[in-house]
Each structure stands twice: as C-alpha cells, then as structure tokens.
Amino acid sequence: MARIAVLHNTLDGRGGADAVCLHVCEALQDAHDVTLFTLSRSSLSTLNRLFDTGAAVSVHRPPGTALVSRAFDALPERVGPALAPRSVLLARAFARHAPRFDAAVSTANEFALPLPSVQYVHFPQFNRRCAPTGGAGRLDPLWSRLAGLADRRLPADACLLANSAWTADVVEDVYGRRPTVRHPPVDPPSDPRPWDEREDGVVVLGRLAPDKRPLRAIRIVDGVRDRGHDLHLHLVGSSSPIYADYADRVAAAAAARPYVHLDRDASRERLDTLLETHRYGLNCKPEEHFGMAVAEYVAAGMVAFAPDAGGQREVLDGRSDRLFDSTADAVDTVVAAVAADDRPTLPRDRYASDRFHAAVRAHVASTL
C-alpha cells in the first residue's frame, strides 16, 4: 500500500473534471492510503451524491481555503473559475507535504511536481498562449512561471493522461509530449425506457455557467418549436457561487417559457430519471475538451447533439447528422432527426467506470 496524494484545484465548479477526481479517489482508496489536496469548500458527501461516487478519502484543505475560495468567487464573472492561480496556490501548499507521499495524481491538469506522478489533463492550464485553441489570459505567462512550467517542460517522471485525442493533440503542441488517451468514466443508467415510451424532450446537462451555453440551448429549442415540433427542455445544472449571477439569468429565461424546466443541483436519481425517459440530449459548449454530458446522453440511449468541435466529436463518432456549427445549424440538425424519428445507434457502455478505475490503478502502479 503506497501513500498517494490526489491534487485537484477546486471541486466547487461541480463539473466533469470534478467527477473524474472523485472517481480517481474511489479507484485508489482500497489499494492505497489516499489524501486529497484541494482548495475547495464542497464536501465529499455532497459531491458523491452529485456524481454517484463512493470516494471516502482523507481531505487536506490548506489553511485559508475558505477565504481563498470566497476571494476567487468574488472575481467578475468574465474572469471565469481562475483555475491556473488556484493550481499555483495548491502546488505551493502541497510542496511541504510532498516528502510524505510515494506518488501524486493530479486530476486538475499539469503540474511541476517534485515526486513521481500521474497527471490527468482535461486541457492545459498553463502556457495556454502556446495552444492552438482555447484562449489565454494576459496573466498566462505569470501563472506559467509561478507554476515552474515557463520552459514548457513537464517532469520526466510524470505519466500524462488526456481525456480525449483532441486534448492530447493540444498537450503535445504545448509540451512536446503526447499523453495516453483515457476517456472519463460514464456509466449507463440502470433502467432506460424503450424509445417508444420516451418523452419528446431535450435534456441539457452541465454547470449553469457561461461556457456551457444553457441560454443557447433555450434558443435552439425555441427554434425547433418554431418549426412545428413540440419539444420541451430540461436544463439540469449544478449551480456554483462562481456563476451565481449567470445562473439567475438562466433561471429567468426558463421561467419565461412553460416548456423549459430548470433542475438546479438535481440528485443523481433525478438526473438518471430524465436521461432514461427522454429522447434527446443537447450540448452547446464549443470545443468541449471531452464532453461528459454528451457521453451521458449516449450511455442513456438518447440521440445526442453537440457542436462540431473538440473532444465531443469523438464521442459522437464524427457524425455530421449529430454535429452543428451554429445555433441555426443546430435547429436544422435537431429538426431533421426529430422529423425522421432517428434512433440511437452508438454503444452505451464505451466509458464504463470499472474500466476507468482499473486503468487508473494500473497507471499508478506503473509510476510507483
């Protein structure tokens, strides 16, 4: 049994990367002594309920975590979740504890760590100005330097993983090393309804945040209804203090339409019920690094739609009749599928969590 540190900058966004963190902890906790280092206020019990996980590890929150989290939450919405500075702070807080551990696992992108590590990259958080896509803030050079990665050289003893081939391409462009692709875990729900018993409705999963574009999803369903198809929409989103004002705008837009239903911080049971009983799933974030929501739709036996960019193209096997490049194109794409009564054809179990857990344990074992 080894001593393993899992590093995750913040779990307060309650998105796909945070689900990966909980699954990694669960995968390792029976075989190793695991401690999670994070600048998060969210409790493991809350996150386990949200992600249907069973993580039960020690959690180390550096002194001042609550104050730091409140300070980041108070930043203007346009700043976003500020993952890079959070990671810089977390790495510095972890450094004095590192000698106590045999290896580390980052579930929040790349780090310059002083011990052997497995690093799961959702998208590079440093040196983003060198990435071909994704955008970089003006402080990117500063955070990259403070992270010890200004030279764009990751530790030689770091085992790199990426959530999609698209992300792996970006990591290789930035750091000159190609990660192994290890898709995130997504289990099929247990009781999917037959197609003929499902509701003519669209489900949109994801944080109530600007990058997820839930307001765009509302406009797409507006457009489909204008074309004569009586679809309703369920927005199922975790709400975070980081985007409180934006979430309120989404709630107001939903309240103005009787066919739009908002489920904030829905239980996993409620989420599975919606996935099992509705026909269509929609994702609106462009250049999704993987597309956990899209994978959820496929696993539930839904017909899924997503922007024609990023890792979600892999999830949908590059099908042009499921991908779109604008709101108008999305309306056309959904209308065509509904009018033709298209049925799901993709396998539901491609991303099962048991395979992900086994792969994580194997990667850690090879690092020790």
> Given pLDDT bands bounded at 50, 70 and 90, which one contains residue 88?
very high
What letter represents residue 14's amino acid? R
Determine the residue type at 208: L
Token code pair at residue 56:
């039960």
Same-domain check for residues 130 and 24? yes
Query: What is residue 78's predicted lDDT score, i.e. its pLDDT?
Result: 60
Based on the fold, state whether residues 220 and 155 are members of the same structural domain.
Answer: no
Residue 46 counted as domain residue:
yes
Q: What pLDDT score was predicted for residue 325?
A: 96
Residue 229: which CATH number?
3.40.50.2000
User: For the stretch 10-21, what's the b/e string if a residue is b when 16 or more beta carbons lie within 10 angstroms of its beta carbon?
Assistant: bbbbbbbbbbbb
* Residue-range definition of the domain harbouring residue 238: 195-339
Q: What is the pLDDT of residues 241-295, one digit of tens each?
A: 778 889 999 999 999 999 999 999 888 889 999 999 999 999 999 889 999 999 9
Instruction: Indicate if 305 and 361 belong to the same structural domain.
Output: no
Predicted confidence (pLDDT) at residue 103 exceeds the cutoff of 80:
yes
Both 300 and 255 in one domain: the answer is yes
Q: Let me know if residue 346 belongs to a domain.
A: no
Q: Are residues 261 and 312 in the same domain?
A: yes
Which of 354, 174, 209, 211 is CA-nearest to residue 287? 211
Strand, coil or helix: what is 35?
strand
Q: Hey, CA dihedral for 79, 83, 87, 93, is it positive or negative?
A: positive
> Which of residues 284 and 63 earns the better pLDDT score?
284
Look at residue 244 in the predicted model and tell me its pLDDT: 83
Query: Quick one: 221 and 151 in the same domain?
Result: no
Residue 93, helix vs strand vs coil: helix
Regarding whether 17 and 127 lie in a shared domain, the answer is yes
| Same structural domain, 361 and 265 | no
Q: What is the pLDDT of residues 202-229, one digit of tens each?
A: 999 988 989 899 999 999 999 999 999 9
How far is 120 from 19, CA to CA, in rounded Å? 12
- Centroid of chain to Cα 72: 20
Instruction: Kindly state whether residues 287 and 268 are assigned to the same domain.
Output: yes
Q: Are residue 277 and residue 163 in the same domain, yes or no?
A: no
- Domain count across the chain: 2
Both 121 and 239 in a single domain? no
Q: How confident is the model at residue 77 (pLDDT cuts 50, 70, 90)?
A: low
pLDDT confidence of residue 194: 96
